[in-house]
Chain A
């Protein structure tokens, strides 16, 4: 018998009456005297039709940072900033496209998106208004499609929606 089979044999559970086990579990979880108790959290009938519009509570978030110049963080001697300039002004210490985009790019938590050298050409063709620097320790080409995809998504959103872009909105809330 292989070691694998031995392991499995050793861990086999004894046959158990599921009904009794469920009964015992229910006793343990709800107490043996629960049968006649009135439920504390009686159900409310499901709502019919569209729910009434309810004003949403204000979203709590940090106040927007004071505008400042986009920062370029030096790492190992290389710049690591991806920014959109001229057409759209994006500023702030957490730049660039909002937390979700920045983090989904999965490169760095400091607000910069580091882009592999191999991705540079692809990104540059997206438009002259984009300025891209890269970081030599950025991940290999495996992330190329992801990074390019995210940047295209973000840029397109801003291009199409302008000030109503949700990405810009998030940025302003950071």
Chain B
């Protein structure tokens, strides 16, 4: 069964892209078939996976959302035209600037609920295990369509007060989505990121753990290697596999794998 995981938080700079990449690559390393979908027009997943100079897919996601698939194209052809190979077991639908104007179309039609299902529903007919969706900061039509298609949600919460505060704002929006999805989307993982050895950081982690005992994930420690690896186009397991953050992210990957989808 295809698991559709959205990595989302309104605030920027909390580690959404790094979490998306490492969740996707970690699952792929564990033998799962994974597609990472970059719904951020900045296209940072492509950069951080070192795929900038690789040949891009022939068909862009924005085109499919806008116009649908060409008639008669098989699922396999769709896949080959839409994704690029990233790592063993890991494929990428890259983000690009042309996702920006799509937001205006989505905003004007209000057609959010079925957009990604129409574009990517064919994944459900494949042996793909996971799609991981990296979203852009703030509540936009792009993040909305991801939340409508997704069934599991990861909140990467930077261990600062402002990031934790933004959860409360997002929950208002989440309620709206859940009402329209009849409760399909769950907040499943609260993942503290960039944990420092400071009282502030540790206090917030502790508070999150207390408040969300069933959703809390062990934090990702802030390490220099984690900040550097994306710039080298590598994941932490390629760049510095013995780093603490590599261990932290793998623990998170295992937690996601162990969860039984309701």
Contact = CB atoms under 8 A, between A and B. Distances in A.
B109 interface: yes
B114 interface: yes
A143 B204 contact: yes
Interface residues of A, number: 64
A106 B77 contact: no
Interface stretch (A26-34, A66-74, A86-94, A122-130): A26-34
B206 interface: yes
B75 A46 contact: no
A122 B30 CA distance: 50
A26 B85 CA distance: 10
Given A7-B240, A8-B238, A48-B109, A146 B183 contact: no
B212 to A, nearest CB: 7
Given A40-B125, A47-B109, A11 B80 contact: no
A28 B33 CA distance: 10
Interface in A43-89: 43-51, 56-57, 59-60
A106 B109 contact: no
Nearest to B167: A104
A104 B166 CA distance: 8
Interface in B91-131: 91, 109-111, 114-115, 118-119, 121-122, 124-128
Given A50-B109, A142-B161, 16 more contacts: A16-B85, A26-B79, A28-B127, A35-B77, A39-B74, A43-B68, A44-B114, A46-B66, A46-B109, A57-B179, A100-B172, A103-B212, A109-B212, A144-B161, A146-B162, A150-B165
Interface of A: 3-4, 7-8, 11-13, 16, 18-19, 21-23, 25-31, 34-41, 43-51, 56-57, 59-60, 99-109, 139-140, 142-146, 149-150, 153, 166, 170
